[in-house]
Amino acid sequence: MDKQKPIGMQGLVDERERVQKIIANSGYCARRKAEELIEQGRVKVNDTVIRIGDKAETFDRITIDGKPIHSERKVYLMLNKPFGYVTTTEDPHEERIITKLIDVPQRVYPVGRLDKFTGGLIILTNDGEFANRIMHPRYEIEKTYYVKTDKPISSEHIMALRQGIMIEEKMTTSAKVKKLSADEIELTIHEGRNRIVRKMMESMGFMVKVLIRIQIGRLKLGHLKPGQYHQMTQEEREMVLMGTEPEVRKDGRRGTQKRRPFRKKVTR
């Protein structure tokens, strides 16, 4: 909040952060959900209702519906989502929710979505900054899918996928396509539009029989069976974000070509 700093802190560099980011980093919810809570007037800083864009400091008291937020140990999980499960934290109309497959004390939420009948790799975490880096369009993190269709896929169809397809009055970006058999391909894209892979194939007259996400960034699904998950290592987290952070050159400008892996700061 914009207020006088305590004695002894005046003159220091402004270390305030937007409240939605603080909430996300605490593990309470994702940043977009935090913005919704702020817009609904449910978030207060030092007993004052805030607006989107307001900032706070580490010593400020942030509450949601009157309850203070608390930081949790950061958790990073990779899950092989089974078919038939929904990608959400709660849904009164669905019994099969992916968070019910997870048994950790922290409250984690899925990073992005897979539709109910798509299986494969999905990440769950309580680290809002990490989640935002994966989901934000500016970082263009690639996702690779195994796709099996109801009929053979021709070279013309593959060329169309590589060049881009008009979906809902907007062209898809160029996809990478690897043909596995007459009716099977690996499709790599970095778009996050809802059900985009199915819509791309359906626009060319195909019915998708099997759709599995097998890779995010350089992180592969590996040998996880449907319903299994494990704690991600630091190396695995870096594999997801590899190449998403522009290199800072010696002149202080941010590079546009060469990139480096993301490394999370460690507070000692």
Structural domains in the chain?
17-68 (3.10.290.10), 76-137+220-241 (3.30.70.580), 142-216 (3.30.70.1560)
pLDDT-derived band at 73, boundaries 50, 70, 90: confident
- Give the residue, 105 or 85, on which the prediction is more confident: 85
Query: pTM for this structure?
Result: 0.70
Q: Are 12 and 5 in contact (CB under 8 A)?
A: yes
Residue type, 17: E
Q: Are 62 and 45 in contact (CB under 8 A)?
A: yes
Instruction: Determine the number of helices (DSSP H) and then strands (DSSP E) in the chain.
Output: 6, 19
**What's the distance, CA 240 to chain centroid?**
10
Query: Distance between terminal CA atoms of the chain?
Result: 26
Residue 40 pairs in a beta bridge with: none
- If DSSP codes are grouped into helix, strand and coil, which group holds residue 68? strand
pLDDT-derived band at 244, boundaries 50, 70, 90: low
Secondary structure of 72-97 in HEC code, one letter for each residue? CCCCEEEEEECCCCECCCCCCCCCCE
State percent of the chain over pLDDT 90.
57
- Give the residue, 59 or 198, on which the prediction is more confident: 198
What pLDDT sits at residue 16? 82
104-145 confidence digits (pLDDT tens):
988 899 998 899 999 999 999 988 889 988 888 788 899 999
Rounded CA-CA distance 247/78 in Å is 27
pLDDT-derived band at 4, boundaries 50, 70, 90: very low
Q: Across residues 55-77, what is the average pLDDT? A: 87
Residues labelled as active-site residues: 115
Query: If residue 196 lies in a helix (H) or strand (E), which one and from where to where?
Result: helix 196-203
What pLDDT sits at residue 255? 44
Listed range (27-36, 117-126, 178-187, 212-221) with the worst mean pLDDT: 27-36
160-199 confidence digits (pLDDT tens):
999 999 999 999 999 999 999 999 999 999 887 889 999 9
**What's the distance, CA 91 to chain centroid?**
20
Rounded CA-CA distance 196/96 in Å is 23
Q: What is the DSSP string of 139-187?
A: G---EEEEEEESSPPPHHHHHHHHH--EETTEEPPPPEEEEEETTEEEE
State percent of the chain over pLDDT 70.
84
What pLDDT sits at residue 267? 43
Q: Which has the closest alpha carbon to 39: 15, 56, 19, 59? A: 19
pLDDT-derived band at 26, boundaries 50, 70, 90: confident
Residues 6+ apart with CB under 8 A from 250: none
